[in-house]
Structure 1
């Protein structure tokens, strides 16, 4: 009988104050994002230990090698103080290597991170408005994610796989999208639309050609999730799409062209287009929409460099 095991701790949420500012990014024309003060560095961390080293705990109830998940939680929180970097991926790299250096019975592990976004409040100062350095508002919009897998290679600790992302987009474009000339049969009731509003949920994920660019202190080759967010929004704004498939393909092409260090990009999109409730008799541009029924269209795409 074979067995695959893993165990760990999820939802270790931490709020680190005054992390190293994020600076030295390469500017892109689709984004004004160039730096981040990191006065509040908030992350939800997951730790998953992999491998057979802990199998006796399952088969014999032998816990002598088991690192308690509560210990993992405390370890993550304490290491957040020691972290000297500025990015989510850098923090996960620091955590993973510290775990394996501290606990030799761990052969491999996976560290995941979800940004907990807070936006600085806008406050008046000398006749204008600036970002507060002390007051922040929790955001429920899109956020950055990352996953790093670590393994031992002799005395070395290496990242063996990774994925980064910006997820949780909810974007509505009022005009400039269409869906027509699709296959029709006796089951088809959907009318063709030469112009329609388009409301999508969207997750974007990517991988680097060289993972060192994701974790290096020099951020000139770092792909900032905020820049990905801005580029995705610019494409949606500019591009007249004939379907969601058409739209996310254009987003992928633009991302790969803009970031040569990006080896792969993938999307998961949902069609959440509202139902039309009423249209004004005086001006057809004035409409009232309502939420659609629960079934929704789901579209996926992955683009990789040759």
Structure 2
């Protein structure tokens, strides 16, 4: 997306215009249930969507808003409070089952409703609630409740969709899905050795270490139709991606975090041919050893590391 549309001008100056509403939260009950194609690494096959909840950011672009900046002329300005209420209305009207699909629906409706908007970027963060535990009517079997949910503070799905006008019709121009906030500790089966050493190096080599990482994963589809959930048989749910990450981390004896995220990316692209790109942002949060048992070297006490941490990024494309 070209931010600011064509780029407004005022005298000998140019301007890029953007404004919008942030952190619009909504909690929709009884959305359409989601069913997805299973993958071997995940037990996830769908969700009932009794609660479909998210927090949304909206960014609007368009030269028609320039007069609001240069002359205080607000006639074309859609108030951000109006945007908030519009999100609520669209959350009620949405007939789909995915976060990406909702963002695309919301963006299209914004552009259809407000012709002064030239382009739009909408971001969403899932507000996850998981079914609480309940007994069945005979009090004999424990299972998930269909009416009681517990808010999860775990990793969460995210998405971003860009839209622009093509003649009278809005069009999705880009879409990214993701899973953010994973915090994963593997107590054995990771190493870091044979790295470059010089006068500044104090880090010891290790052939087996507990590896604690923070990890965000994002992906793009080859076909935008798959990205926005219109063909759920081609849609990959973020919970499936999370589970595949878990399986790869569990199985793979990595020699570095770089080695690990590349292996995860390789497996993701192999498992999901509809994806064109996967990317990773990882942080090394590995603990420091505080105490070691004298009788069993496996028994140790660890502590959090210093405030600084390593960062690792990777983008893999087909």
| Length-normalised TM-score, structure 1 | 0.98
Does the Cα contact within 8 Å between 2:281 and 2:312 map onto a contact in 1?
yes
- Offset of residue 137 of structure 1: 1.1
- Offset of residue 132 of structure 1: 0.7
- Map of 2:234 onto structure 1: 221
- Map of 1:166 onto structure 2: 179
- Map of 1:79 onto structure 2: 90
CA distance in structure 2 between the partners assigned to 1:171 and 1:138 by the alignment = 20
CA distance in structure 2 between the partners assigned to 1:118 and 1:216 by the alignment = 21
- Offset of residue 90 of structure 1: 0.6
Candidates 2, 21, 39, aligned match of 1:9: 21
- Map of 2:102 onto structure 1: 91
How far does the alpha carbon of each residue in 1:240-259 deviate from its partner, in whole angstroms, 9 at most, with x for none? 00000000000000000011
Matched, 1:304 2:317: yes
Candidates 16, 19, 43, aligned match of 2:31: 19
CA distance in structure 2 between the partners assigned to 1:35 and 1:147 by the alignment = 21
Matched, 1:256 2:269: yes
Local SS of the residue matching 1:193:
coil
- Map of 1:269 onto structure 2: 282
- Offset of residue 216 of structure 1: 4.0
- Map of 2:46 onto structure 1: 35
State the superposition RMSD in angstroms. Answer: 0.8
CA distance in structure 2 between the partners assigned to 1:218 and 1:298 by the alignment = 35
- Map of 1:236 onto structure 2: 249
Report the more deviating stretch, 121-130 or 47-56: 121-130
- Offset of residue 37 of structure 1: 0.5
Report the more deviating stretch, 210-219 or 108-117: 210-219
- Offset of residue 218 of structure 1: 3.1
How far does the alpha carbon of each residue in 1:125-182 deviate from its partner, in whole angstroms, 9 at most, with x for none? 2422111111111111110100011000012211111111001000000000000000
- Map of 2:55 onto structure 1: 44
CA distance in structure 1 between the partners assigned to 2:20 and 2:228 by the alignment = 23
| Length-normalised TM-score, structure 2 | 0.94
1:120-131 to structure 2, matched below 5 A, reads 120-125=131-136, 126-131=139-144
CA distance in structure 1 between the partners assigned to 2:176 and 2:62 by the alignment = 20
- Offset of residue 8 of structure 1: 0.3
CA distance in structure 2 between the partners assigned to 1:143 and 1:281 by the alignment = 41
CA distance in structure 1 between the partners assigned to 2:258 and 2:53 by the alignment = 34
Matched, 1:211 2:224: yes
- Offset of residue 123 of structure 1: 1.7
Local SS of the residue matching 2:203:
coil
How far does the alpha carbon of each residue in 1:78-137 deviate from its partner, in whole angstroms, 9 at most, with x for none? 111111000000100110011011111111110110001111112222422111111111
Local SS of the residue matching 2:208:
strand
- Offset of residue 26 of structure 1: 1.1
4+ aligned runs moved over 3 Å, structure 1 = none
Candidates 52, 64, 77, aligned match of 1:53: 64
Local SS of the residue matching 2:14:
coil
Residues matched between the structures, number:
304
- Map of 2:157 onto structure 1: 144
How far does the alpha carbon of each residue in 1:216-251 deviate from its partner, in whole angstroms, 9 at most, with x for none? 443100011010000000000000000000000000
Gaps in structure 2 of 5+ consecutive residues: 1-12
